[in-house]
Structure formats: structure tokens, C-alpha cells
Amino acid sequence: MGKDFIHLSNISKSFDGQMILDELDLKIKENEFMTLLGPSGCGKTTTLRLLGGFETPDEGKIFFDGKDITHLPPNERKLNTVFQKYALFTHMSIAENIAFGLKISKKSKAYIDDKIKYALKLVNLDGYENRSVDSLSGGQQQRIAIARAIVNEPKVLLLDEPLGALDLKLRQDMQYELIRLKEELGITFVYVTHDQEEALTMSDKIVVMNQGYIQQIGSPEDIYNEPINAFVADFIGESNIIDGVMIEDKLVEILGTKIPCVDIGFDKNQPVDVVIRPEDVKLVDPSAGFMEGDVVSIIFKGVHYEIEVHANGYDWLVHTTKMHPVGSHVGINVTPFNIQIMNKPESSDEKAVELDV
């Protein structure tokens, strides 16, 4: 991946006295597909709007390729934004929509016509120049919105939940289109979503945000396999998150049962969060598990069964390819490596550990 290209340096932003971003520090590399992921109200869209020039930070600076752009208006930034609401002009043809920014820039007709053809080819809509916006499906309208952004040759494309209005199949198709476009165009993508699967599928790097803070930055694999706290573990995929006590190095107690783990460095008898992914829970013969319980529900999900097991007062979520009917008495096993021990936050919005990424 390239050099640091964008740097949001210690950005704070409030609206009506409510802190939305609190000393946010974020670096984005050139040609990177970075996704800002988090629940509604976590500050991800505000971060994107600050980058695009639609908002100004209360504190901090924004650097683009080494230059301070904190107070530059949107039209002077080499960035283009694609919103969830496509904001296409219904009284204009597709060609006129795509050419809108180029005409403002006083480009020649020949140049504009070439660019329109090129952009439509890129988004697989060749020959759509004279169609009306209303004649297009949601997915096609989204492609036109992306084509309109691409013709301006931005160095960075900002995308604010651009696939949110599309149905599942179309959304998946567009995810692959966006990955292809990034590879072909060699531009930096900054993408906002609250859809974990979308983030895991598309990103080079994911920034998990909550309540104005960055919780964790990492590759999709890092974020999923090594979540830094219970919030990230719970937000990215499904998890069993259980109150525990770290008895000593490599030994934790959950639900009244002591089990081996691989974590060290905690205080003796320290309260912790224990995170175990559903696919890491193994259902075995009752005599072979570290605790036993009963299957209370089972749902077939195509690739696996999603099973709920009530054991020691807790409803375990289990993903397995083996069928265990409701009422079965089973044992629960987890290999020590797949048990993740995390510090309990002091409050729900505690800032995560500062990461040097």
C-alpha cells in the first residue's frame, strides 16, 4: 500500500453542544479501500463530510497529500462524494448528469463526450447516454452517480452508504463492481457503512467507530479474528460475550467453570470479558465437554446450522455443520486458542487503546 495520503489530525466536532468526534486521529494511505464502520451516530458520516469539505472541524486539521485543506471548499478538493441518495437530476439525460461537473470546469465538448463514454463503460452501462434517470433501476442509478464522480478524476472517492437502498443481490454485485473500479482506477476509496459484511468483503482496512472514538483499525481479518474489545467483537459478526474472571495466566473462569486459555498478563482474579465466536464452539459428547447443556433451538442457514444451547445459565450461540436436534444433551468445548480475553471497559463509551497503525 502507498504512503499516508490523508491525515485527519486530532479532529473534534460538536453539533448543538453534543460531541460527535473527540480528538479523532486517522491516516489513510494512497490507493487504499478504507471503510468507516459503526452504528448510527458513531461519527462516521461526519468524518466523511469533514473530508469532503461539507463541514469544518471545531478543532484539528485535515491534510491531503501533505497540504492543509481544512478550510478549502468542496469544489477545490480533489475528492468526490457519492451519497446514498444519488442526487441525480431527473430533468437531465444520463450524459448530462455525468457531464455536470465537467461543464462547470469549462471542458471542451469533445473532451466531455470522451469522458462520458469512458465512465459509462467503466460502470458497465455503455450506450445509456440518452436515457432518462427515471427509466433506470436503483442499481443503475447508483452506477450513474459513481460514473458522475469518476469523470472528474478525483484522487479520492468518498462513498456514504452508497448501496444502502439496494436489495441484497444487487448490493453484492455492486460491492464487486466497486472493488473492480478501485483496482482499475487506482484511486483511494473512503467508504462509510454500518453493514459489517460489506466492510469485511470490500476493505483493505476497517476503522471501527463508536460514540465519536476509533475503537480499532485493522485488516478485515484482524478485526474479525482479533477484536480489541467486546464492542468490536459484538459489532463484527456474532459472538458469545460472557462475564469472566482471570484466575491466573492461561486460566479463566466463566459460568462457574475454570477453562484453559492462552492469555497472560492480567491481574489474578481480574474481571474480564470472554469472547468466543459461534464457529469456535464445538458440540461434543456431554462427558467430553468443559460444561454440558441442552439444545433449545436450531436454524438451518444453508452452509451451517445455527444452534442455541442452554448451559450453566447462559444461551450459547453455536455454528456447526452437524445437526443436533432440539432437546439433545451435549457437551461444550472450545480450544484455548479460540478463547479471547478482554479488559472490561470502565464505561460504555470508553476510548479504545490508541493504536499506532
pLDDT value, residue 355: 43
pLDDT value, residue 108: 87
pLDDT value, residue 2: 66
pLDDT value, residue 172: 85
CATH match for 4-225 among 3.40.50.620, 3.40.50.300, 3.40.50.150, 3.30.70.260: 3.40.50.300
pLDDT value, residue 163: 83
Domain ranges of the chain: 4-225, 241-343
Residue 2: how many other CB atoms lie within 10 Å: 10
Tens of pLDDT along the chain (357 residues)? 567 899 999 999 999 999 999 999 999 999 999 999 999 999 999 999 999 999 999 999 999 999 999 999 998 998 988 876 767 888 999 999 999 888 887 788 999 999 999 999 888 899 999 999 989 888 888 889 888 888 888 899 999 988 877 788 888 888 888 898 888 888 999 999 989 989 999 999 999 999 999 999 999 999 999 999 999 999 998 999 999 999 999 999 999 999 999 999 999 999 999 999 999 999 999 999 999 999 999 999 999 999 999 999 999 999 999 999 999 999 999 999 999 999 987 654 554 444 443
Rounded Cα distance between 265 and 199, Å, is 32
CATH level 3 topology of 241-343: OB fold (Dihydrolipoamide Acetyltransferase, E2P) (2.40.50)
User: How is residue 23 written as a grid cell?
Assistant: 480528538
User: How is residue 214 written as a grid cell?
Assistant: 476509533
CB contact at 8 A, 129 and 121: no
